[in-house]
Amino acid sequence: MPSDSLHARSFLGRLFQGYSQDELLKRLEPDLEQPAQHVPGGAHITPEIVERRWRRIAATPAVREILLNSVDAGQMECYSRNIENFIGVARLPLGLAGPLRVNGLFARGDYYLPLATSEAALVASYHRGACLLSQTGGCSAMLLAEGVSRSPGFAFDTARQAGLFAAWVVEHLEDIRKAAQATTRHGTLEDLRITIEGNHIYLLLEFRTGDASGQNMATIATEAACALIMEQAPVKPDYFFVEANMSGDKKASAQSFLTVRGKKVTAEAIIPAELVEQVLHTTPGRMCDYWRMSAMGGVLSGTIGVQGHYANGLAALYIACGQDAACIAESAVGVTRFEVRSDGALYASVTLPNLMVGTVGGGTALPTQKACLELMGLYGEGNARALAEVCAGMALAGELSIIGALAAGEFTRAHRKLARGRGDAAGGEQ
């Protein structure tokens, strides 16, 4: 195996090929020439403003027609609360997987899953897993907890001051709760945790946000809580930030399995051995062999949680249904577990502690995103918990399918077949 020094030497050889050191350094120097004009900014969308933006771009009429066709131009104002500097619409293919039968506390029935992706084999994999689960009578899914957090941070001169401040916060929790909840009709401040690190204080405010994903709701409520604290606390911080990076927002973190961010959901199914062999072309025993090896691989590589590819299905569903796609960073944390039962059947479960999903607000009311939620019967108030349980069931379907393909030795062949030999020119895999 090459050492790091050999890797470095090889890289530098490629880097300097065709250039002198002075030429390379010159390429990295600041360029003080006047930059191109910036596009007219803002969230307000009118045909005139969009036209001015397009005039700043060196783009052909064909490119413009692709990004802003007549249909999109006619409904551009509906995007004004979801985008800034609007110039058009990016499109992804939309595939349908399922049906996925979910027997949940909130989701009950057969769901067709709209998945927006450019990755060949993804929809086929989730479709196979969803149909397998439906053949067994569906998966059981349970919402275990819910909450959206913000973690403001406060800085003091000494740890003693920080401790006095923390004591005041504990005594005035109800006042803080009232200030936060005054900003929203749907959110409630459920809990507040305090962490002291030297002369810094981190508050972890946990909100219930109804059927909205709730990040903006939690941010606005936290800002109001901080304003009350800054006004009334007898020990004044030197400064504070409304988010001090302890909430786990848009990142995988070690606290994922200790708290909840969004909705914590588990889903499970028991699949007879003959159905595993018929649909997945392998055995429960071999799937458990793979799961054990992959679990250790996850430990050795330091992953947070152990799972195959939650991010694939979740990202595709999030984009299709108007969720915050960046929340895949925390939503795709979780644990998959397989066991062989005494009768030879396969027990499979997934637990996802950070599903950030909503059925109102955000991008859920955009035309195609609303249509995708309506396709599942999950648009609007009263449906966010059911959507979370469907997401867990979809993650279970994806795990069964991908691990089945790996256990059966079909993983590479499936990707080669479904990418249709298109190679790099079409973004396929060979």
377: region left, alpha or beta (phi > 0 left; psi from -120 to 50 alpha) = left
Instruction: Give the H/E segment covering residue 4.
Output: helix 4-16
Distance between CA atoms of residues 52 and 176, nearest Å: 46
For residue 415, indicate whether it is catalytic.
Answer: yes
Residue 335 neighbours by CB under 8 Å, 6+ apart? 257, 305, 306, 307, 350, 351
Instruction: Give the H/E segment covering residue 373.
Output: helix 367-375
Peptide bond into 152 cis (omega under 30): no
Q: Residue 71 class from Cβ within 10 Å (0-12 exposed, 13-18 middle, 19+ buried)? A: exposed
Distance between CA atoms of residues 205 and 291, nearest Å: 36
Residue 207 is classified by DSSP as: E
Q: Which of 314, 311, 321 is nearest to 361 (CA)?
A: 321
Q: Where are the alpha helices (DSSP H) in 233-343?
A: 273-275, 284-301, 310-320, 328-331
Q: Which of 223, 261, 218, 217 is nearest to 242 (CA)?
A: 223
Burial profile 57-69: b = 16 or more Cβ within 10 angstroms, e = fewer: eeeeeeeeeebbe
Contact yes or no for 78/115 (Cβ under 8 A): no
For residue 324, indicate whether it is catalytic.
Answer: yes
Distance between CA atoms of residues 359 and 365, nearest Å: 9
Residue 43 neighbours by CB under 8 Å, 6+ apart? 80, 81, 83, 84
Distance between CA atoms of residues 44 and 38, nearest Å: 16
- Annotated catalytic residue, options 146, 211, 309, 415: 415
Distance between CA atoms of residues 144 and 190, nearest Å: 15
Contact yes or no for 364/122 (Cβ under 8 A): no
- Annotated catalytic residue, options 72, 191, 268, 324: 324
- Annotated catalytic residue, options 119, 206, 330, 389: 119
Instruction: Give the H/E segment covering residue 271.
Output: strand 262-271
Distance between CA atoms of residues 143 and 362, nearest Å: 22
For residue 119, indicate whether it is catalytic.
Answer: yes
Residues labelled as active-site residues: 119, 324, 415
